[in-house]
Amino acid sequence: MMGATARTGDDRVEVLRNLLLTKGVRQYGLDDVNQLEHALQAAWHAERAGTGDALVTAALLHDIGHMVHDLGENPAAEGIDDLHEQVGCRFLERWFGPEVTEPVRLHVAAKRYLCGAEPDYAAGLSSDSVRSLALQGGPMDAAEQRAFLALPHSEAAVLLRRCDEAAKVAGLATPDVAYFLPAVARCLRPAG
């Protein structure tokens, strides 16, 4: 009991650690990092932005939907939108509240929002993001942007999306998974 508590505080954290460490070796689309490196870089950007435990957790786990499906390494290259934001949100809802799961669910919508609202953001997207953007519905128009901003947690989703896009740098040094797990544990629903 004490050992488990000292380690992470919760077996659910071990499930997430194992997913990241085993499925994270999948390449992240066409980019130069794998899923684990991408997750760690996103979480690291969130932490350094001072966003708090919920967004650090959301950033670390935002693409968990890619790790729990079986559509291969890069469905977008084959014209498939894997809806990973919905898969990931449903997976995480068992254990986390909306402050974690809603930014995950909305992080693709946040990309569409940013591409509509900030032309410079669209111009800076990775080639893989451009490809998936078309599958995801393209940039939001003004009415869609207003509707998006009215959603709870949309601002957090935009922050997460900025961390996401910045998290594709080959060789960037970050802390390891264990470093972020205490923040994850603090966001878990009470066990039982």
Binding residues for Fe ion (CB under 5 A): 63, 164
CA distance 159 to 21: 25
Q: Which is nearer to Fe ion, 4 or 80 (CB)?
A: 80
Treating both helix axes as pointing N-terminal to C-terminal, what angle do 53-61 and 154-165 enclose, rounded to 10 degrees?
A: 50
Least distance (Å) from Fe ion to the CB of residue 165?
A: 8
Q: Which is nearer to Fe ion, 10 or 111 (CB)?
A: 111
Which residues are paired to 27 by β-bridges? 34
Nearest to 41 by CA among 54, 23, 28: 28
Q: Which is nearer to Fe ion, 13 or 46 (CB)?
A: 46
Least distance (Å) from Fe ion to the CB of residue 164?
A: 4
Least distance (Å) from Fe ion to the CB of residue 28?
A: 7
Chain centroid to CA 70: how far? Answer: 18
Please give the residue whose beta carbon sits closest to Fe ion in the complex. 164
| Helix/strand/coil for 153 | coil
Least distance (Å) from Fe ion to the CB of residue 102?
A: 16
CB count, 10 Å around CB of 118? 13
CA distance 9 to 88: 22
Least distance (Å) from Fe ion to the CB of residue 38?
A: 6
- DSSP labels, 112-154: HHHHHH-HHHHHT--HHHHHHHHHHT-S--HHHHHHHHTSTTH
Q: Which is nearer to Fe ion, 63 or 102 (CB)?
A: 63
Q: Which is nearer to Fe ion, 10 or 164 (CB)?
A: 164
